[in-house]
Amino acid sequence: MLNEASMYAFLMVFLRASALFLSSPVFGAQTTPVPIRVLTTASLSAALTFVVKHSFGPPPDTLYGLVAVGIHEVLAGLLIGSFMSLALQVGQIAGGLMDLQIGLGTSQIMNPVTGVQVTVLAQYKFLLGVVLFLMCDAHHIVIQAFVKSYDAMPGLSMETLPLLQTSLIHLVTSVSLLSLQIAAPVMTIGLLMDGTFGLINRAVPQIQITNVGLPAKLGLGLIAVSFGLPAMTVGVVAAVNQAVIALGPMFHK
């Protein structure tokens, strides 16, 4: 039934969903048209309003109370979206490490999602991570975390900041470790090639090892990247799960 309580619940869900999409790696992209973001947010809010309506009390009697609740909803949405967005950085970090090893570290292109300059493989791995994020139905995990947050997430206050800091450190550590694991084959090839070139240069100083070594290093590195593509799927799923685990302490009253 559409009444005052339902409209209040829809407004609060819309605010949290808007903040979630704004900080998410998919719909928060600058290339996503605003009408699509608004319609998607409104559709999701309408679908979930009656699911989470029981979590809301009566509408506040004052404007100050309404604004305070709205701010809490926005912060909660930003928290979930930011953790998921950080999880998807696993591909970009791994790509950056690969670029450094195979000689593409100086190649800079514009990332249309984040609007910053990144290296070639970092851009490729990030966009591949977004595709895998959707193909693995990880966005369903985000929606589940969104719904669960209404039943379990307490009010954000100064008391929850240490808990949030600990969860953030745990997620950053997990993402960094996963990035190293994804980039490990290419980094290994790069280190072996550097060692081989060093031995050849010491044995035969007359050879211009740079002219021969860099193309060979780049070629073998790209072959290693192709063989390591299946690890991206495992890495993206693991990173999303780590984000949910990091959010877990925030989902306890």
Q: What is the pLDDT of residues 203-231, one digit of tens each?
A: 777 777 767 777 777 788 888 888 878 88
Contact 16, 55 (CB under 8 A): no
How many H helices and E strands in the chain?
A: 9, 2
Q: Which residue, among 63, 19, 62, 66, has the nearest Cα to 44 in the 3D structure?
A: 19
Q: Which residue, among 172, 174, 93, has the nearest Cα to 126 in the 3D structure?
A: 93
pLDDT band per the 50, 70, 90 thresholds, residue 1 = low
Alpha carbon 122 to chain centroid, angstroms: 13
Between 138 and 181, whose confidence is greater?
181
Three-state SS string across 167-230, please?
HHHHHHHHHHHHHHHHHHHHHHHHHHHHHHHHHHHHHCCCCCHHHHHHHHHHHHHHHHHHHCHH
Single-letter code of the amino acid located at 210: T
pLDDT band per the 50, 70, 90 thresholds, residue 79 = confident
Q: What pLDDT, on a 0 to 100 scale, did the predictor assign at position 182?
A: 87
Q: How far is CA 234 from CA 73, 75, 167, 189, 237, in A?
A: 32, 30, 22, 21, 5
80: exposed, middle or buried (C-beta count within 10 Å: 0-12, 13-18, 19+)?
A: buried
Overall average pLDDT of the 112-117 stretch: 56
Contact 178, 239 (CB under 8 A): yes
Q: What pLDDT, on a 0 to 100 scale, did the predictor assign at position 123?
A: 80
- Is residue 128 scored above 80 in pLDDT? yes
Locus of tokens 């910053």: 116
Single-letter code of the amino acid located at 146: F
Distance separating the N- and C-terminal Cα atoms of the chain: 30
Q: Which residue, among 124, 137, 19, has the nearest Cα to 75 in the 3D structure?
A: 19
Tokens of 162: 């240490």
